[in-house]
Amino acid sequence: MATKTMLVAAIDFGTTYSGWAFSFKHEYDTDPTKIGSRQWYGGQMVSLKAPTTVLIKPDARTLDSFGYEAETKYSELASDDNNEHKIWYYFRRFKMMLHGKMGLDKNIDIEDETQKPLPAKTVFSLVIRYLKDDMLKNIKDRLSCGHITEDEIAWVLTVPAIWTDAAKQFMREAAVEAGIKNESLKIALEPETASIFCRLLPVEKMIEGGGMVSFKPGSVYMYSYNNYISYIGGTIDITVHEVLSDGKLKELHKASGGAWGGTQIDEAYKQFLISLLGNPVFRRFQVENKEDYLDMFREFEIKKRDIAPDNDNKVTIRLPSTLKEIFEDESGEDLRKAIMQTKYSNEVSLTGDKLRINASVMKSLFSNAIQSTVSHVKELMKDKVVRSISSILMVGGFSESKMLQHAIRTSFPNMKVIIPHEAGLVVLKGAVVFGHGPSSVSHRVCKYTYGVNTAIEFDNTKHDIRKRKESDCGPRCYDIFDKYVEIGQSVALNVTTTENTYFLLNESQSSVTFSIYASTQKSPMYVTDDGCARLGDVTINIIDKSVPIKERGVIVSMTFGGTEIEVTARENITGLVTKAIVNFLG
């Protein structure tokens, strides 16, 4: 008898910020928006999620600390003269190594801050295990009596919709390695969990530009998940949804986006400082004074949240004394006077350890990130499928930026722009709701063309002679890409696609193996064409060999649902069925 789910726990493994949230079944039944989470603290920083930063002990397998604690401890280790920090493993912003990889080796390594490699699976699983255990500890502390077993917990792990199938499977395997049972785990796409949660919120919980917020059947809206992060990292994930008559969501356009957001803002701030100080000074400060470097960027993280189009007040940021000392040691100049010789002489001044920066300079740091976002949305609007949208739903930390909000509203004046309160937690809370109920998504748009590798009768008029091979059935053209669904096609979830039948080629065959392929092209002819990648294999044994070879066949179909593709192969004579989940990891 299956164990009843008493609690749903969600983990949002972010590019640079991560966190967890949960709700009990009885609380969800009363109020689905009542969801528990925690605040994280680091110096003056208070955030709804913790930096995705991990410090691993020199044994290369034991997590020492996570989040703000990992940042602080590593900077303290690095400040010692004995260079002890070099034997520890310190990782930041490593999630993005999974982005864009159609094929992915499960044994791939990643390098830490000092280029020391560790298996990526180890690093990812340590973070997931920490978040899992931290949540369980908090749950235990909140339970006044009794206890809850892990069998009574349903887990949800969020991933960007723009990720490949291989990256999603990688995250599932990392979670299982972290101690989460495979059968207890759901993988949820960030755009969908955000939509799920926002549709539960009353109007007063939404910030928008006038009028009533509506997600009624027939409404079409664009979802934009904007990571707003410290240092370098972050993505923008954009999806278009339509609300159907049954309340479910239909994806109208395949997920798209890029590594924008805080990436470009913080890089712009870094380049601004380099223009004042020079690259050798900045680099030396970054290497020799990690604690001061960390504090300086934490302060910038706080300051940048207050930047707004209508705020013309100067911004004051404290410069560490070590930075001034390094500058004067390297250049032999006074830093205050040197700043007066730069192009910012009329916009930036230094008094004591206080750097006073004109608002115009601070606003300019947002330009690239905002322009990238606006340009991408404008490009999407050219698609006839997208032109029907009436609202833009913005979630994620960057969505709380007044600069971004102003740019979106100004660039798309006919759109209703919706930003929920605590936008940075919407994906995480939506993942909890997703874990409690059945899927609220009916259709998704394929990010790739999927098919199998097969061989067909050779045609001299259209086939590459190099693909010709002889078989017991005559000459055949090998490496044919037999398409099942194509990139951009809308597919109903958990509904079997068209069935195709394949016949054996040789009398001696006792089994047949189908290689599953994905392609970035709509209609590739061969699996060797550019943009094609092999995902995995499905093998079926042939039992009945009494019929002629030309009658021995296998009927293959694919089912798209969740984050996995199920392939079903049925022998046409015996009816023997083989089912397999495509393994996307090499």
For 278-290, the pLDDT digits (tens) are 999 999 998 888 8
Which tokens hold the place of 174? 């990392």
Contact 144, 207 (CB under 8 A): no
For the stretch 423-461, pLDDT in tens is 788 889 999 999 998 777 788 888 889 999 999 999 999
- Lowest mean per-residue pLDDT among 199-213, 334-348, 567-581: 199-213
Per-residue pLDDT, 209: 46
3-state secondary structure of 266: helix
Q: Which CATH number fits domain 7-261+375-443: 3.40.50.300, 1.10.390.10, 3.30.420.40, 1.10.287.3510?
A: 3.30.420.40
Phi, psi of 575 (to 5 degrees): 80, 5
Q: Does pLDDT of 212 surpass 50?
A: no
Q: Domain 446-581: what homologous superfamily?
A: Substrate Binding Domain Of DNAk; Chain A, domain 1 (2.60.34.10)
Query: Taking residues 59-69, what's their average pLDDT?
Result: 95
Please report, for the chain, how many H helices and E strands are present, in that order: 14, 33
Q: What is the pLDDT of residues 528-572, one digit of tens each?
A: 999 998 887 777 776 666 667 677 778 888 887 655 678 888 887
Q: Which segments of the chain belong to CATH 3.30.420.40? A: 7-261+375-443
pLDDT for 312 equals 93
Q: Which helix (H) or strand (E) holds 517?
A: strand 511-519
Q: For the segment 474-524, what is each residue's pLDDT rounded down to a tens digit?
A: 899 999 999 999 998 888 887 777 788 887 777 777 777 888 899 999 999
Per the listing, tokens 């395997």 go with 173
- Please state the rounded mean pLDDT for residues 184-199: 86
* DSSP calls for 395-406: ESGGGG-HHHHH
pLDDT of residue 345: 92
Task: Determine which of 45-54, 308-317, 318-327 has the lowest per-residue pLDDT on average.
Answer: 45-54
Which of 10, 539, 442 minimizes the C-alpha distance to 241?
442
Whether the per-residue pLDDT at 220 is higher than 70: the answer is no
If one compares 220 and 584, the residue with the highest pLDDT of the two is 584
Q: How far is CA 322 from CA 78, 440, 561, in A?
A: 15, 54, 55
Instruction: Output the average pLDDT for the chain.
Output: 84
pLDDT tens column, 356-394: 999 999 999 999 888 888 888 888 888 887 777 878 888
Q: Where in the chain is the domain with CATH 2.60.34.10?
A: 446-581
Q: Is the pLDDT of residue 253 over 60?
A: yes
Q: What is the pTM of this model?
A: 0.81
Q: What is the pLDDT of residue 308?
A: 93
Distance CA 356, CA 433 (A): 45
